[in-house]
Structure 1
Amino acid sequence: MLKETLARNIVRYRKERGLTQEELAARLGLSFQAVSKWENAQSLPELSLLPQLSATLQVGIDKLLGYLSYDKAVTVYEEEYKTPDYIWGLEPNSACYQVLQLMPPTRRLKLLDIGCGEGKDAVFFARNGYDVTAFDITDAGISKTKRLAEKTGVHVNVFKADIMDFRLDSGFDVLYSSGVLHYIKPDFRDEIFDNYKRFTNENGLHVFNVFVHKPFIAPPPEKETNAHKWHSGELIGHYRDWFLHESSEVVFDCNSSGVPHQHAMTKLIARKVSA
């Protein structure tokens, strides 16, 4: 597991620094084959190389090895979620009801909520009989998810993870995410969605939405530095080989941060069907 995590992170941070394998190898005084073996999880760097590798990639050793470590909040919602109120309310997203219709929990179904925020949707799914796992990058969001689950009398396996770092290694029946996928950098979308699809059980569902860029809609007021643009048609492109229950685009009004504005959003529901 360490080899795979380190391999993925070396690729990620090398690309973020704009380095080729050859350039990284030259800075470390190694052959590019050595770097290639690291990135293909065929070998691990020598322990003595980690400080130099960390400095070259401009990332802490702990984060390079897959341990969450941040000097500052990754998202503005770390502070937003510290309010005692649930800023998104407690009413589940309308897509939650579509999951219930398309894949009711008449048997044990494992569901993953990717970027669960304050937990309202994750807890809704748990109340309705799904075996729910959820993660978020915010400590405040995780705490509120746990409190809401406890108050409701259900269990949600919730933990802290970064959507850029997290990968599945076991199967789920439903993958669900609302308002989070814009935190995935464009260069990593193919690899991350391939992972999500590979670890989805046969006949499983992906129920996702993502904000899309439109030139006639002003940028949102939150100024999220870690947000990355998606474009119309981009999300559906990852699901050419799946059955599509829905792929639509909407424009809606929003009042987050107390500033009225609009968003354009692509909604997708896709099912994994065998050939």
Structure 2
Amino acid sequence: MKETLARNINIYRKERGLTQEELAQILGLSFQAVSKWENAQTMPDISLLPQLSRTLEVSIDKLLGYVSQNRPITIYEEVYLTQDYYWGTEPNKECYQVLQRMPPTKPVKLLDIGCGEGKDAVFFARNGYEVTAFDVSDAGIEKTKRLADQCGVEVNVFKADILDYRLDRHFDVVFASGVFHYIKPEFRQEIFENYKQFTNQNGMHFLNVFVNKPFIAPPPEKEPNAYKWYSGELLGHYQDWLIQESSEIVFDCNSSGIPHKHAMSKMIAQKVTSINN
């Protein structure tokens, strides 16, 4: 918990535009105290948590690493409340690339980031992967569990916010589709370094992200917590990995009932052993 709290104080302090000195002054402390919190050397006294929470404009639960329940982060929370599966139950076609490039001929630990209603996570489990998945939507998590039960497979699924959650164990495959626009630009480097650090040698990342193009109109969905990506930005986080595939496409979409287009960057990268000259 100490490391989680340290990271969250640092993140939300920066979001509020406060320096360590300014936060310390508000709390009546020395800036060294705040610095020690953020370096996980010490933890705030429990009596300071309410004032710290108010100053950083974030709940105590969220500071401590629990997903806040007081506001929807994604527009899909309400959509997922229906009995039907909004995205259907057919897997994303990128799932077949995982099967092709890293088949589970031996135990393969796979992480599905932003699993939504679970169609891809369950597909991987049905094909023999050891699947862990998370999403920020309560309704999505429940539907993932339900679909896994219906298919007779096990998926370790839990609720987490992509901005807050960091890996603390290793995976062979990291898979994410259409979710990284929820990551604020200033946190991307640190988050991707975490994903890379906790990937086993020769493990692979199968990722895509919506990219901004001036000739494509904004999507009809009004995402309050979406942030733009640009061509080449995702690839730039993997300069030290072997790039197996990298492409950019424009495709038609009708997810909201209103025909529109998206531009998307896709990437498959592999963590290979470094050679020291």
- TM interval, shorter chain, is over 0.9
Q: Quick one: which amino acid aligns to residue 38 of structure 2?
A: E
Could you tell me how far apart the structure 2 residues matched to 1:177 and 1:132 are?
Answer: 13
Task: Map 1:123-134 to 2 at 5 A.
Answer: 123-134=122-133
Cα deviations by residue, 1:111-151 (Å, 9 ceiling, x for unpaired): 00000001110011001100000011111111111111111
Could you tell me how far apart the structure 1 residues matched to 2:165 and 2:105 are?
Answer: 29
Could you tell me how far apart the structure 1 residues matched to 2:65 and 2:71 are?
Answer: 17
Could you tell me how far apart the structure 2 residues matched to 1:65 and 1:89 are?
Answer: 35
Number of the residue aligned with 1:157: 156
Number of the residue aligned with 2:31: 32
Q: Quick one: which amino acid aligns to residue 27 of structure 1?
A: I
Report deviation, 1:70.
Answer: 2.5
Q: Quick one: which amino acid aligns to residue 132 of structure 1?
A: V
Report deviation, 1:29.
Answer: 1.4
Task: Map 1:1-275 to 2 at 5 A.
Answer: 2-275=1-274
Could you tell me how far apart the structure 2 residues matched to 1:148 and 1:62 are?
Answer: 29
Cα deviations by residue, 1:128-179 (Å, 9 ceiling, x for unpaired): 1000000111111111111111111111111111111111101000000001
Partner secondary structure for residue 15 of structure 1: helix
Q: Quick one: which amino acid aligns to residue 56 of structure 1?
A: T
Poorly superposed stretches of 4+, deviation over 2 Å = none
What is the count of residue pairs matched by the alignment? 274
Cα deviations by residue, 1:208-247 (Å, 9 ceiling, x for unpaired): 0000111111111111111111111100001000000111
Q: Quick one: which amino acid aligns to residue 111 of structure 1?
A: L
Unaligned runs of at least 5 residues, structure 2: none
Task: Tell me whether 239-248 or 26-35 shows the greater mean CA deviation.
Answer: 26-35
Could you tell me how far apart the structure 2 residues matched to 1:141 and 1:32 are?
Answer: 41
Cα deviations by residue, 1:41-83 (Å, 9 ceiling, x for unpaired): 1111111211111111111111111112221211110011112
What TM-score do the two structures reach when normalised by structure 1?
0.98
Could you tell me how far apart the structure 2 residues matched to 1:82 and 1:270 are?
Answer: 35
Could you tell me how far apart the structure 2 residues matched to 1:242 and 1:68 are?
Answer: 32
Partner secondary structure for residue 226 of structure 2: coil
Task: Tell me whether 241-250 or 42-51 shows the greater mean CA deviation.
Answer: 42-51
Could you tell me how far apart the structure 2 residues matched to 1:233 and 1:164 are?
Answer: 21
Could you tell me how far apart the structure 2 residues matched to 1:171 and 1:232 are?
Answer: 29
Could you tell me how far apart the structure 1 residues matched to 2:149 and 2:47 are?
Answer: 46
Could you tell me how far apart the structure 1 residues matched to 2:94 and 2:87 are?
Answer: 15
Report deviation, 1:36.
Answer: 0.9
Report deviation, 1:90.
Answer: 1.6
Report deviation, 1:87.
Answer: 1.5
Unaligned runs of at least 5 residues, structure 1: none
Could you tell me how far apart the structure 2 residues matched to 1:88 and 1:50 are?
Answer: 40
Q: Quick one: which amino acid aligns to residue 170 of structure 2?
A: G
Could you tell me how far apart the structure 2 residues matched to 1:147 and 1:9 are?
Answer: 32
What TM-score do the two structures reach when normalised by structure 2?
0.97
Q: Quick one: which amino acid aligns to residue 64 of structure 2?
A: L
Q: Quick one: which amino acid aligns to residue 137 of structure 2?
A: T
Partner secondary structure for residue 256 of structure 2: helix
